[in-house]
Amino acid sequence: MGISKPLRIVIAGGSGQVGRMLARHFHGCGHAVTVIARHVSPSQWRTALWNGRDLDSWSRDIDGADVMINLAGRSVNCRYNEKNRREIMESRVQTTRVIGRAIAAAAQPPPLWMNASTATIYRHALDRNMDEATGEIGGNEPDVPSTWRFSIDVATAWERVFTEATTPQTRKIALRSAMIMYPSRGGIFDTLLRLVRIGLGGQAGSGDQFVSWIHGVDFIRAIEFLIAHEELDGTINVSSPHPLPDRDFMRALRRAWGAPIGLLATRWMLEIGAMLLRTETELILKSRRVVPARLLDAGFEFQFPQWPEAVQDLVRRWSEHRGQRAEK
Ligand SMILES: NC(=O)c1ccc[n+]([C@@H]2O[C@H](COP(=O)([O-])OP(=O)(O)OC[C@H]3O[C@@H](n4cnc5c(N)ncnc54)[C@H](OP(=O)(O)O)[C@@H]3O)[C@@H](O)[C@H]2O)c1
C-alpha cells in the first residue's frame, strides 16, 4: 500500500494537531514536506508563510508539488459566538478558495489535492450508519440546537468551494474525517484522557449518541492509501468502521486507563461545563455514526478497527510519551 518514491508534499494548516502528525510522519519517511502557515514554528521541515487569503510567494511551493493537503481552519473547540462563527467559516472557505486559485495558476499543478472536511456534515444519527452513498447531510433534524446547524453550514460551504475549484489536472478528495485520536499534547485524546484521569470520564448525556473516531496511525495510513490509489476521488469518510455509543466509548477509555468509575455528565452539567470550558456541547452530544465504505471497498485494512484495542494502544503511547503508567 505504501508510497514507493519520495514525494513533495505541501500541507496548509500543517502547524496544527493533524498537520504536525502528518508532517512528522512524511518527513520521517524521506518525503520533502513544506508546511504553509501564518507563523513559523520550530520544525525540521520547511515553512512557507501566508495569510490564508491572498495569493503570494507561498503558491510557488504548490507549483510542482506531488500532493497538496489543506487542513487550515480556526479550531471549532470554542463557543460559537458571532466572532468565532465568522472565523470558523471564513478560515476554511478562504483558504480552500485561494489554494484552488494557486493550483489553477500553477505551471505544474499537483496531481492530488486533499482538503479537510468533517464527518460532522452528516445528520445526528442514532438509527443507522452514514456512508458516502447513503448517508444524509444534516441541518434539518428537528429539535437540535442551532449550533449543530452551524457546523453543517460550515462543512457544506467548505466542500462547495472545494468542489467548485476548477483544477482539471488535479484529483480532488474531501476528507470527511471523524475525531482523529493521537496521544499528542492538547489533542482530542489527551483532553478525553484528562477527564478520565480526574474522575470525570463518565458517559456524556444519555450515552446513546455514537462516537466516530479513527486512530491517528490509521489516519496516516489512509492518507497514504489515498495517495497511492489514483482511482479514488470525491468525498471519502475517514473513520474507523466501528463507531460506538458514547457510553461504551468512555467505558473502554476508563478500562484502558485503569479507572473503572467516571462521573456521569448530564446534559445540563455539560451545558454549564461547556460554557466554562468555552466550547460547545455539540462536540460531545451530537450522534456521529459514520462508516468508511469507500475505503473498505477499495481494500483499505485498518490496523485499529475496534475502539477497545485502539484505546489500549493510545494509552500505552500516551504513557510512554509522558513517562506515566496507567494504574492497573
Ligand atoms: N482533529 C480532528 O480530529 C479533526 C477531525 C475532523 C476534521 N478536522 C479538520 O481538520 C483540520 C485540522 O485539524 P486540527 O485538529 O489539526 O486543527 P488545529 O490543530 O486547530 O490546526 C488548524 C490549523 O489551521 C490554521 N489556521 C487557523 N486559523 C486560520 C486562519 N484564519 N487562516 C489560515 N489558517 C488558519 C492553523 O495554522 P496557523 O495558526 O499556524 O496559521 C493550524 O495549523 C481542521 O480544519 C479541522 O476542522 C479535524
Secondary structure of 147-186 in HEC code, one letter for each residue: HHHHHHHHHHHHHHHHHHCCCCCCEEEEEEECEEECCCCC
DSSP calls for 37-93: ESS----SSEEEE--SSS--TTHHHHTT-SEEEE-----S-S---HHHHHHHHHHHH
Residue 292 lies in a domain: yes
Closest CA to 236 of 133, 322, 83, 106: 133
Predicted confidence pLDDT, tens digits, the chain (328 residues): 567 789 999 999 999 999 999 999 999 999 999 999 999 989 999 999 999 999 999 999 999 999 999 999 998 888 888 999 999 999 999 999 999 999 999 999 999 999 999 999 999 999 999 999 999 999 888 877 777 888 999 999 999 999 999 999 999 999 999 999 999 998 999 988 988 888 877 888 889 999 999 999 999 999 999 999 999 999 999 999 999 999 999 999 999 999 866 666 666 666 666 665 556 677 778 899 999 999 999 999 999 999 999 999 999 999 998 876 544 3
Residue 18 lies in a domain: yes
Write the DSSP symbol of residue 121: G
* Closest CA to ligand 1's atom 40: 37
- Expressed as residue numbers, the domain containing 284 is 8-320
> Which atom of ligand 1 approaches the CA of 39 most closely?
40
Contacts of 304 (CB under 8 A, 6+ apart): 215, 217, 218, 240, 310, 313
Residue 327 lies in a domain: no
3-state secondary structure of 23: helix
Residue 210 lies in a domain: yes
Residue 325 lies in a domain: no
Whether residue 95 has its Cβ less than 6 Å from ligand 1 = yes
Residue 153 lies in a domain: yes
Mutate to test the pocket of ligand 1, among 11, 36, 38, 176 (most ligand atoms within 8 A of CB): 38
Residue 328 lies in a domain: no
Looking at the structure of the chain, the number of domains it has is 1
Whether residue 187 has its Cβ less than 6 Å from ligand 1 = no
* CATH code, domain carrying 211: 3.40.50.720
Q: How much is the pTM? A: 0.94
Q: What is d(CA 307, CA 129) in angstroms, rounded to the nearest whole number?
A: 16
Q: What is d(CA 113, CA 103) in angstroms, rounded to the nearest whole number?
A: 9
Residue 203 lies in a domain: yes
